[in-house]
Structure 1
Amino acid sequence: MHKTAALITATLLAGRGAEALPMTPLANPNPVPAYCPFTQTKFLPFYNSGNKEWTDAPTLSISVNGIPLIATMDTGSTGIVIDSKYGFNTTYLTSKCTIGHVFYTSSHWLQEGYWCDTDVNVGGVVTSALALIRTNEVCCPAFSDSNENHRCPTADREKACVCKGTCTSAASQSALTRRATGDEDEDEEDGEDIATIEARQTTTVGKAYMGIGFARGNPPTHNLFMNIKSIDGVSVVDSSKFRTGYVINSTGVWLGITKANTAGFKAVKLNLREGSTESRDWGEPPCDVQINNGTWATGTFLADTGIPNAYVKGDVSHKEGNEITIRIPNPSTPFGEVGFLSVPKAKSGTIGTNNPVQPTWVGTRSILGVNTGRKFYNGYDLYFDGDGGYFGLRKKSN
């Protein structure tokens, strides 16, 4: 690994082997790895393909136990939540699965269920993950994650409106609705981004919530897009032609990284998530945030398909009308840059509406950096190399 100072080489962990980066001139600081050997891939069109401006969260057609469902595809969480009525009886859950839960500390909603290894067919792609099979949702203000039974004590069960403190129609929405409408508070440090929320749908087809993001708290074993078994009946296990990862554009998602579907991207190498011992548990990409031409603050970046709003934390607090600029991965050599205005929640959707990447409103993030929300995808396509740990963006031509 030592040619000349004018050339860069690197070694990647390939999908099931090793693949080297090409020798790339130093003039290109953000090269995409050489994906020439990898040809197994599948394009999955979004079920709500008519949504061209990322007004709603993207959805995909899936099937579980032979039952067709519509799943929200969320990059802001990791894990799939499926209601037990879709082919999971009590005997199966208690004998084959492990009792579990997901709890939202800010809203006090508890998802009660079981962790089960579950196969899911996503448009001909068979994949598997440790899924939460939900048996119940309950408002549980005094719940503690230290509870060994993963259930809300009967005496602590409250009315739904207690979880929000009022009984207005918006307040009585369950946790399964609020994130899709952008009303769920971001609370990354408490693991609030674990996917347990159904998206808004007008169809009578059953629903699920599928978190395919990385660095969201849950390990890769929970991520369907990191555990693909076969594509159109052809196994990818131990295949030298398959590279774990995805490319998201405005009409759908490519599963399986190739040279063709990453053309035009620029990328940055990711570090493993802090504290993780798993080889593919990657951390968030870096970015810098500037408020009103002030000092650049270095943090992390998330383009969250699950919400229409954004969360930002820079060197100073932002307020209504402030200009917010994001550069990825850094201010000096960015391959991604967006700007939008700070909008209070009370004025959601009324400011900066001529800007396609403008979030509906902008809250304050708990850590330095930005969660752009899904409007970011009006300006950029995104790719994630799950095997090698690369994150890339490609600016849209229109």
Structure 2
Amino acid sequence: MMKLQSPADTDSDSNSGTKAKLESPTRYIPKTLSPAPTCRRISARLYKQRLKITATLVLLSLYLVVNHLTCTMPPIRQNADLSQHTKTLFLPYVHKFSTQEIPMVRATISGNDFELPMDTGSTGIMIGAPRLPHISPDEGIPAYEYLSSSRILYGGRLVSQTITFHGVDGAYATATVPILVVDRSMVCPWYKPGVDGFHCPRIPHRPYPEPRDTSQIMYMGIGFGRNRLEHKKLKALPSGNPFLNINNINGEEVQTGAMRTGYTISTDGVYLGLTKENTKGFVFTDLERGVTTDPRDWAMVKMCFRLNDQGDNCGSALIDTGIPQMYLRTDVGVETPNVTVRNPNKEGEATWVKRVKPGTNIAIGFPSLEGREIVGYSFEVGTGMLMEPVYVVPESQGPPPYVNTGRNFLFGFSVVFDADGGRFGFRAVHPQHPQISHSSL
């Protein structure tokens, strides 16, 4: 006989059996390790970790992209409204601009007249002590200067003085800056900047350099961007640049904002103070900040150059009125065609020196090449082109690449330094010259 079961009995047996089957595999597993809850917690943790990793990778990628663009894109040209700046003074050169002679301007210090050589490759004024008899021998702060291009060491004292620059038809401007009153000077070829300090070191088996006549020392550096972070002592400061510290023009005090701090340089002379009129026709590139906190401190202008249409050597350039030759430093691995010749300088230490090989084509663009330059020029060494230096010295390979153009650059371009705006500009002297490129921007 079939036994009938009540719904209650059926449900009871069914629930009991089902419950036993469900509880059996989980009976001995700790609650914290039960499959379903543990699976959900691990997924959430992994999700958060993966989200953090993804976000980090995205941010890193964005940083690398932005950093790459920042490093590779040329500086942006900026327009500046100079219409409100009216104070300016033109300084003609004492002699006609030439390859053989550094340009000079007329100046007076405490009644003493000077024809000061104007060098864009250094910063600050140096005058021999015999030329400034009103300054006592114990006055000032001990200081020194070494010019690497001429290998001359100057030692003396910094003394604040007011200098008057003479323009045309009695016009004048004054600046008050520290002057290095030179007590001693000598040519020291083995001097190591940042290491040797005030004195030329003695080298075994070499005669010690003869002292120079300090009564003949007169020098004025108006350059910028000459400091580097690795220098132990920063000396090329805007506060020592007389052209950036003009405080009076024709007897009128220069009020804040009336004068745009900076200057133009051409083969005709110098304009102190930038205006809309004296900067007409210039194209500009932005400069990077200098290594000091002075708002007028800027790094040298950027450039790229090629040798015989090969390689991109990108770094900094110096338009140097102090020398007639060019110095060229390529990046690591880039060979400069060169020859060894007898040293034409009879007072030089070396008997033989290296020069860039005649026939080598040198192309330079500011601030870059590949059609992105605002200006550029090229020349073949030894052909006597308009802007060609008297010779080109190949420096040892090493980053960053560097070019010192020498003063003949000014035969092709006038230049302007905008210290208030952080810009450097060029204006072609002969825009149609086949070896000169000039942007219309």
When normalised by structure 2's length, the TM-score is: 0.65
Are 2:355 and 1:312 aligned? no
Deviations 1:193-231 (A, max 9, x none): xxxx99xxxxxxx76211101011311011111111111
Are 2:399 and 1:356 aligned? no
What is aligned with 2:115?
70
Which residues in structure 2 correspond to 1:330-349 (within 5 Å)?
Answer: 330-331=368-369, 332-342=371-381
The answer as to whether partners of 2:262 and 2:419 remain within 8 angstroms in 1 is yes
- Deviation of 1:85 after TM superposition, in Å, equals 1.5
- Deviation of 1:133 after TM superposition, in Å, equals 0.6
Q: Provide closer, same or farther for how the CA distance between residues 309 and 161 of structure 1 changes in structure 2, counting only shifts above 3 A.
A: farther
Which residues in structure 2 correspond to 1:158-173 (within 5 Å)?
Answer: 162-163=208-209
- Three-state SS of the structure 1 residue aligned to 2:409 is helix
What is aligned with 1:294?
310
Deviations 1:319-378 (A, max 9, x none): 202111000011132122111234xxxxxxxx221x110111111246413111011100
What is aligned with 1:326?
364
The answer as to whether partners of 1:214 and 1:284 remain within 8 angstroms in 2 is yes
Which runs of 5 or more residues in structure 1 are unaligned? Answer: 1-28, 164-171, 177-196, 199-205, 343-350
Distance in 1 of aligned mates of 2:161 and 2:336: 43
Aligned residue pairs total 317
Residue of structure 2 aligned with 1:230, choices 248, 255, 258: 248
What is aligned with 1:120?
163
Q: Which amino acid aligns with 1:100?
A: A
The answer as to whether partners of 2:103 and 2:117 remain within 8 angstroms in 1 is yes
Residue of structure 1 aligned with 2:285, choices 263, 268, 283: 268
- Three-state SS of the structure 2 residue aligned to 1:68 is strand
Q: Provide closer, same or farther for how the CA distance between residues 138 and 239 of structure 1 changes in structure 2, counting only shifts above 3 A.
A: same
What is aligned with 1:373?
406
Are 2:73 and 1:57 aligned? no
- Deviation of 1:89 after TM superposition, in Å, equals 4.9
What is aligned with 1:37?
84
Q: Provide closer, same or farther for how the CA distance between residues 358 and 161 of structure 1 changes in structure 2, counting only shifts above 3 A.
A: farther
- Deviation of 1:101 after TM superposition, in Å, equals 1.6
- Deviation of 1:57 after TM superposition, in Å, equals 1.3
Are 2:228 and 1:210 aligned? no
Distance in 2 of aligned mates of 1:159 and 1:234: 58
Instruction: Please give the root-mean-square deviation of Cα atoms over the aligned residues, in Å.
Output: 3.1
Which runs of 5 or more residues in structure 2 are unaligned? Answer: 1-75, 167-171, 228-235, 338-356, 432-441
- Deviation of 1:387 after TM superposition, in Å, equals 1.4
What is aligned with 1:130?
178
Q: Which amino acid aligns with 1:360?
A: V
Deviations 1:235-285 (A, max 9, x none): 11x432211100111110000000000000110111112x32222210011
- Three-state SS of the structure 1 residue aligned to 2:324 is coil
Relative contact order (alpha carbons < 8 A, sep ≥ 6): 1 or 2 greater? 1
What is aligned with 1:86?
131
Deviations 1:129-167 (A, max 9, x none): 22211012245668986678x4568xx59999755xxxx
Q: Which amino acid aligns with 1:114?
A: R
Q: Provide closer, same or farther for how the CA distance between residues 335 and 54 of structure 1 changes in structure 2, counting only shifts above 3 A.
A: farther
Distance in 2 of aligned mates of 1:41 and 1:90: 31
- State percent identity of aligned pairs: 29
- Deviation of 1:34 after TM superposition, in Å, equals 1.3
- Three-state SS of the structure 2 residue aligned to 1:283 is coil
What is aligned with 2:26?
none
When normalised by structure 1's length, the TM-score is: 0.72
Q: Which amino acid aligns with 2:392?
A: V
Residue of structure 1 aligned with 2:300, choices 284, 301, 306: 284
Q: Which amino acid aligns with 1:84?
A: A
- Three-state SS of the structure 2 residue aligned to 1:334 is coil
Distance in 2 of aligned mates of 1:307 and 1:131: 22
Q: Provide closer, same or farther for how the CA distance between residues 67 and 158 of structure 1 changes in structure 2, counting only shifts above 3 A.
A: farther
The answer as to whether partners of 1:32 and 1:265 remain within 8 angstroms in 2 is no
